[in-house]
Amino acid sequence: MQLASHLLLLLVGLLALSLDGQGQAHGQQQEDPSTGGTSPSLKIAPGNTAFALNFYHLIASRSPKSNIFFSPLSISAAYAMVLLGARSDTWTQIIEGLGFNLTEVSEPDIHQGFQHLLHALNLPDDKLETHVGSALFLSQNLQLLPKFLNDTTAFYDSKLFRTNFLDSKGATQLINNHVKEETRGKIEDLVSRLSTDTVMVLVNYIYFKGLWEKPFSNSKTKVQNFYVDENTIVKVPMMFQDKHHWFLHDRYVPCSVLRMDYRGDARAFFILPDQGKMKQVEQVLTPEMLTRWSQLLQRRSFHRKLKLYLPKFSMSASYDLDEILPSLGMMDLFTAQANLSGITTQGRLQVSKSLHKAVLDVDEAGTEAAAGTSISISFFSMMHNRNILRFNRPFLVAILSTSTQSVLFLGRVVNPASP
């Protein structure tokens, strides 16, 4: 009788947005000439975006009034690694759950796409720091099939650590120390306890730190009101600048959209629903809508002078993926029905637990929040002046890699004062 062993997936997403008030604005970043229409990473971009929004909608429906923040790229890359060892229905469910259509993209295309994507994101850049990686922590007695081991290394550059899971405390410390180091100390104690029958832990992480092309001035940050809902007001440090920005007030969707560029190959979209219209905006949040906004915000007519108010905040979110992904079609992976026979022939593997944690820091590097309080303006201020944009109520944020067209992070900020 084969023993069911356990594979634990730990997914880490970290986004540190450093708004350096001392920096100087730079011109428009140049697109990477190597990313043409045949780029492997562009082949998987539609599937990755579809997964990002499918996951978002599922989380939003379960927690309609909570902050949301996650790295769809981290989740997709980790499960694409598992795909290398999946067989039969488990393989099909992972493919479809990740948003891929095999009539449009093959499995080799998927792995080559991630290989190209991860390489592009990890390229040294003095303007933008992006660090994406993965690691396999294996029981000292577990023997992986050579093809799985070679493919995870070749396509995902995964590091391998032999681990004594019988020493639960030591194994936990080993994994937590690795995650802490790879995320520049931002994420600590990801693992609280490991079962002694764990034989393999897969960790995926992403670290991002960017500087705005048009930084905020520390001296202009003032404490103001943020309207969580009709009955809840919190105080937040509100940054301000009066500069030219790419933004639009959508005439078909009840929201405003702001594009903020980083120095380097990334940009952010901040989506501000009209008062009370978050649900309506979320309903039309599709890959096609993101593409539409992105294309519109390349037109010069949408580059205008703007009085911009954006909160300075930090938040984090954690998700039990083994409780979420079955709703996206991955039914077998977390049960005894899982077929991961492409990983090892020593025993029957199943995924016992899958965790994802993401951290968002939007701050002014090296400074403290301003202590002054100013009189707040109500929701309706922007309706009187179309060139004022106040993010003083719940909004959405998406961080994208420009050249690879990949969604690195996606979230909803309902209460920026909530950690």
SS3 content of the chain, % helix, strand, coil (to 5): 30, 35, 35
**How would you class 256 by CB atoms within 10 Å of its CB: exposed for 0-12, middle for 13-18, buried for 19 or more?**
buried
Greatest mean pLDDT among 49-63, 175-189, 213-227, 315-329 lies in 49-63
State pTM to two decimals: 0.85
Structure tokens at 286: 């599709």
Structure tokens at 207: 């670290």
- Is there a domain that residue 374 lies in? no
pLDDT at 29: 35
Return d(Cα 332, Cα 322) in angstroms, integer: 11
Asked if 394 and 298 sit in the same domain, the reply is yes
Give the tens place of pLDDT for each residue, 144-158.
899 998 999 999 888
- Range scoring the smallest mean pLDDT among 20-34, 128-142, 168-182: 20-34
Asked if 81 and 176 sit in the same domain, the reply is yes
The amino acid present at 299, given as its one-letter code, is R
Asked if 17 and 40 sit in the same domain, the reply is yes
Return d(Cα 84, Cα 199) in angstroms, integer: 18
Asked if 241 and 169 sit in the same domain, the reply is no
Structure tokens at 243: 């500069």
Return d(Cα 250, Cα 22) in angstroms, integer: 33
- Is there a domain that residue 376 lies in? no
Asked if 68 and 96 sit in the same domain, the reply is yes
Structure tokens at 368: 């403290």
- Is there a domain that residue 383 lies in? no
DSSP string, 180-244: HHHTTTSS----S---TTEEEEEEEEEEEEEEBSSPPPGGG-EEEEEEEETTEEEEEEEEEEEEE
E strand or H helix that includes residue 81:
helix 72-83
Asked if 146 and 261 sit in the same domain, the reply is no
Give the HSE-up count for residue 366: Cα atoms under 13 Å, Cβ half-sphere: 5
pLDDT of residue 399 exceeding 60: yes
Local confidence band at 264 (pLDDT 50, 70, 90 cut-offs): confident
Closest among 293, 254, 257, 256 to 277, alpha carbons compared = 254
Domain limits at 278? 213-312+389-413
- Is there a domain that residue 418 lies in? no
Q: How far is CA 263 from CA 23, 63, 123, 270, in A?
A: 11, 34, 14, 17
Asked if 188 and 231 sit in the same domain, the reply is no
Q: Which 3 state secondary structure label does DSSP give 38?
A: coil
- Is there a domain that residue 377 lies in? no
pLDDT of residue 367 exceeding 60: no
Asked if 262 and 124 sit in the same domain, the reply is no
Asked if 42 and 155 sit in the same domain, the reply is yes
State the maximum Cα–Cα separation within the chain, in Å, rounded to a whole number: 72
Give the tens place of pLDDT for each residue, 287-297.
999 999 999 99
Domain CATH for 228: 2.30.39.10
- Is there a domain that residue 419 lies in? no
Cα angle, residue 225 at apex, residues 411 and 387 outer, rounded to 5°: 75
E strand or H helix that includes residue 46:
helix 40-62
- Is there a domain that residue 298 lies in? yes
pLDDT > 70: percent of the chain: 85
Would you say 223 and 372 are in contact if contact means Cβ atoms under 8 Å apart? yes
Would you say 417 and 394 are in contact if contact means Cβ atoms under 8 Å apart? no
pLDDT at 8: 53
pLDDT of residue 101 exceeding 80: yes
- Could you say which DSSP state residue 212 is in? B
Return d(Cα 358, Cα 13) in angstroms, integer: 4
Mean pLDDT of the chain: 80
Looking at the 3D structure of the chain, how many domains does it have? 2
- Range scoring the smallest mean pLDDT among 111-120, 121-130, 408-417: 121-130
Closest among 170, 160, 164, 159 to 141, alpha carbons compared = 164
Return d(Cα 333, Cα 323) in angstroms, integer: 11
Asked if 181 and 295 sit in the same domain, the reply is no
- Is there a domain that residue 135 lies in? yes
Q: Which 3 state secondary structure label does DSSP give 207?
A: strand
pLDDT at 207: 77
pLDDT at 283: 94
Return d(Cα 194, Cα 278) in angstroms, integer: 39
Domain CATH for 34: 3.30.497.10
More confident residue, 238 or 27: 238
Asked if 154 and 142 sit in the same domain, the reply is yes
Give the tens place of pLDDT for each residue, 121-140.
888 777 777 777 788 888 88
Would you say 272 and 258 are in contact if contact means Cβ atoms under 8 Å apart? yes
pLDDT of residue 105 exceeding 70: yes
More confident residue, 283 or 134: 283
Return d(Cα 325, Cα 335) in angstroms, integer: 12
Closest among 20, 21, 117 to 76, alpha carbons compared = 117
Asked if 159 and 195 sit in the same domain, the reply is yes
